[in-house]
Structure 1
Amino acid sequence: MSAGQRTQASPERVLVFAAHPDDIDFGASATIAGWTAAGVSVSYCILTDGDAGGFSDEDRPGLAKLRREEQRAAAAIVGVTDVTFLGQPDGFLEPTDTVIRGIVRRMREVRPDVVLSMHPERSWDRIQKSHPDHLACGEAVTRAVYPAVENPFAYPELEAAGLRSYRVPWLWFYGAPSHHENRFVDVTGLEDQKLAAITAHRSQHPDVDRMQSRVRAILQDNARRGGLPEGRSAEAFHVVGVNTDETIAGF
């Protein structure tokens, strides 16, 4: 298996970014469960604490702490133990220099084969995928992937601290507008794991049964759109080659 095939199908290291706790679990947790079961090292970086989320006044005091705990529990269900938080305010995320620097730092620390992120473009087919924080996450990660993380002069203080510039091979987006989706990962058999991870975010689900039914329907629809046989489930991604055999540095 060539390096390019290894990176796309079964990478060695994956770094996943999200705007809020639970975003990853809705968008990509079944694929992640498959990767970790195959021995892939997966790390999460959550940009906000999700402190503006939830539906219960009872959870409001200490909600940021609760949502961190929920995310760690959800991550463990799909085999992820490395979870970090940038602590940006929920609802006000922007692709600022501070945010991009924090993202570049994590990329250079983990040095992943695949960076997985929310998408920077708005989806009109299901606008809930396009919370402003989601779009800001996608934009900040994209700016970090190219050119900041691979430019030793972008954040020289990181280079001086031993966090060397690094070329990311592949950028995968979840929550993409449907016309951009070009990779459908068969996650049949991992549905229950995904739903357990989503349900671990108990503060976010006033109607668990309806949520679980809707998620199963989305997975089945993804599989149909991806050309998988009837009865299969899939997660959908927009995959972009950043530094591969087909790309040219600087263009």
Structure 2
Amino acid sequence: MENSGFNPAAGVRQVLVFAAHPDDVDFGAAGTIARWTAAGVKVTYCIMTDGDAGGFDESHRAGIIEMRAREQAAAAGIVGVEDIRFLGQRDGYLEASHEVIKLVAGLIREIRPDVVMAMHPERAWDRIQKSHPDHLACGEAVTRAVYPAAENPYAYPDLAEAGLTAYKVPYLWFYGGPRERDNHFVDVTDQVDAKLAALRIHASQHPDLARMEATVRRHLLDNAQRCGLGQGRSAEVFHVVGINTPDTFAGF
């Protein structure tokens, strides 16, 4: 696995992160995001569904959407994120439809990020829980929006008419994908406490917080071992794809 490391001087100043549900981004990337924001990078979250199908407590049902939005806002604040957008799609029904792709492309054109981050569009058979259908749909919709919709001035022409001009995304980072796709890791040893604090905010989703925390710690340690970081280190892993970089050119 490649270690291209974390270099805040590498030109990353704006990141746009997509997640299917409230809490997904905290499981997948909160440590990396905490590193970015500490280095002065501005990060925006886009939560694609309302999370209404999550949780375990029947007494939460009437207010679950609002509860999960509050949880996500509080968790985001722990890792330095203040800008959160909610697409409001129904939990469990997310599709890579033109309606959703257009919303994503519009947000990309508005934010104009150096990095777009999203859930992986490929199913992970080693741990299928990573591959909720909404997660896969998130990845597929964002991929289609990144290329070609966001950068094609003739795609969804009403976006351009609204002032959202075409934009070429440099890099697309996927999280929560199959292990064999991982090609980039970030050492988050110093951010583990912040990541876990963010995850604990989503208490409505975790009937056993202690077990959740132990599992997350174990996965982070395992990631670091796979990446060669050494005993006691923790890492988050990603599948990084160059979209518009010095090594690419139009159409190829």
Fold match, TM over 0.5? yes
- Work out the CA distance in 1 between the residues paired with 2:105 and 2:35: 26
Partner of 1:240: 241
- In 2, Cα distance between the equivalents of 1:98 and 1:18? 17
Please tell me whether the aligned partners of residues 22 and 198 of structure 1 are also in contact (alpha carbons under 8 angstroms): yes
* Contact 1:184-1:235 at 8 Å conserved across structures: yes
1:6 to partner: Cα distance: 6.5
**Alpha-carbon distance, 1:9 to partner:** 5.1
Flag the 1:158–1:7 CA change in 2: closer, same or farther, 3 A: farther
User: Relative to structure 1, is the Cα distance of residues 243 and 131 closer, same or farther in structure 2, using a 3 angstrom cutoff?
Assistant: same
Structure 1 gaps of 5+ residues are none
User: How far has the Cα of 1:80 moved from its partner?
Assistant: 0.1
Cα distance in 2, alignment partners of residues 52 and 9 from structure 1: 39
Displacement of 1:174: 0.3
Question: Given the two structures, how large is their TM-score scaled by the length of structure 2?
Answer: 0.96
The two structures, once aligned, show a CA RMSD in angstroms of 1.3
Q: Which residue of 2 aligns with 1:63?
A: 64
Q: Which SS does the other structure have where 1:60 is aligned?
A: helix
Q: Does 1:213 align with 2:214?
A: yes
Q: Retained in 1: the 8 A contact 2:185–2:227? A: yes
Q: Distance in 1 between matches of 2:207 and 2:160?
A: 46
Secondary structure of the residue aligned to 2:189 is coil
Listed as ranges, the matches of 1:96-175 within 5 Å are 96-175=97-176
SS in 1 for 2:62: coil
Could you say which residue in structure 2 is the equivalent of 1:12? 13
Report Cα offsets for 1:129-176 as digits up to 9, x if no partner.
000000000000000000000001101111011111000000000001
Secondary structure in 2 aligned to 1:189?
A: helix
The structure-2 alpha-carbon separation of the partners of 1:21 and 1:197, relative to structure 1 and needing over 3 Å to count, comes to: same
Normalised to the residue count of structure 1, the TM-score between the two structures is 0.96
Kindly tell me: are residues 10 and 212 of structure 1, through their superposed partners in 2, closer, same or farther at Cα, counting changes over 3 Å? Answer: farther
CA contact 2:8–2:39 (8 Å) conserved in 1: no
1:30/1:187 contact within 8 Å kept: yes
1:77-88 matched pairs, under 5 angstroms: 77-88=78-89
Q: Percent identity?
A: 64
Q: 1:225 to 1:36 in 2, by over 3 A?
A: same
Quote the residue 1:185 is aligned against: 186
Q: Is the CA contact (8 Å cut-off) linking 1:120 and 1:134 kept in structure 2?
A: yes
Structure 2 gap ranges (5+): 1-5
Q: Give the deviation of 1:202 after TM superposition.
A: 1.2
Equivalent pair of 2:8/2:36 in contact (CA under 8 Å): no
C-alpha distance in structure 2 between counterparts of 1:218 and 1:8, whole Å: 28
